[in-house]
């Protein structure tokens, strides 16, 4: 493939409406990146760019692997990737301070677990369910949980505790959101803001200026 073509990975889902609005605001010549789009390959006019829309977790993987030069994804998926691959070539250029969501460690509000210390007192193997298995394992190790099992699940992890899991790790808006999901917050891990990421090799070796001259202005907005 022509080394002059810049590859851009764009997130679908919750991040799409916000990012689409921001890209419009800076007049980035992107067409076909809306919530009701029928294609996963939007067009970037007048620039040497190929773009594709994909799930946020795939943005982190694809940019790190060098299949895409530039992308946007949340801190949750960036950290999920970096925890597993500490030598990853994924590099954050800047964080867009917009998200009202964060990653939380929770138990069921109908259970008896109210602190991290309560987990240490359990005689059972501690079962943790999450869309983020690497972050879940990291949480268990950092908190020195002696016996634990990680179960990876896609969506609706709030349904597991207290009967089918001791703990879940998930993204949510706030305490009220967790309460509506019948969860009790044990710990807030970090905010899940949207980030502009690049592949380190592409950033050093490739001329990404035609795209970055637009995208870097987002940091000032």
The reported pLDDT for the residue numbered 84 is 92
pLDDT digits (tens, 9 = 90+) for 134-164: 999 999 999 999 899 999 998 889 999 999 9
Helix (H, G, I), strand (E, B) or coil at 72: strand
Q: Specify the CATH number of the domain 102-191.
A: 3.40.190.10
Tokens 């597993």 sit at which residue?
84
- Has this prediction a pTM greater than 0.95? no
Sign of CA dihedral 110, 111, 117, 119: negative
What integer pLDDT is reported at residue 44 of this predicted model? 95
State the pLDDT at residue 1.
44
> For the chain, what are the domain ranges?
6-99+193-220, 102-191
- Are both 6-99+193-220 and 102-191 of the same fold? yes
Which residue positions in the chain have pLDDT lower than 70? 1-3, 98-99, 220-221
Fold (topology level) of 6-99+193-220: D-Maltodextrin-Binding Protein; domain 2 (3.40.190)
3-class secondary structure, 5: coil
pLDDT at res. 12:
93
CB atoms within 10 A of CB 130: 25
């Amino acid at each position: 493939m022509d080394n002059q073509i810049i590859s851009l990975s764009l997130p679908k889902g919750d991040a799409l409406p916000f990012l689409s609005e921001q890209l419009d605001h800076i007049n980035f010549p992107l067409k076909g990146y809306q919530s009701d789009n029928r294609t996963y390959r939007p067009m970037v006019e007048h620039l040497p760019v190929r773009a594709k829309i994909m799930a946020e977790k795939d943005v982190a993987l694809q940019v790190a692997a060098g299949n895409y030069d530039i992308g946007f994804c949340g801190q949750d998926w960036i950290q999920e990737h970096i925890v597993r691959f500490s030598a990853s070539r994924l590099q954050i250029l800047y964080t867009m301070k917009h998200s009202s969501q964060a990653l939380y460690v929770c138990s069921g509000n109908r259970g008896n677990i109210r602190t991290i210390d309560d987990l240490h007192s359990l005689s059972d193997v501690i079962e943790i369910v999450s869309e983020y298995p690497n972050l879940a394992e990291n949480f268990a190790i950092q908190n020195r949980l002696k016996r634990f099992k990680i179960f990876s699940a896609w969506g609706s992890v709030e349904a597991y505790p207290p009967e089918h899991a001791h703990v879940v790790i998930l993204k949510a808006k706030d305490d009220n959101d967790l309460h509506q999901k019948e969860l009790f917050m044990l710990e807030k891990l970090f905010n899940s803001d949207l980030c502009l990421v690049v592949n380190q090799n592409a950033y050093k070796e490739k001329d990404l200026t035609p795209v970055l001259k637009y995208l870097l202005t987002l940091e000032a907005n």
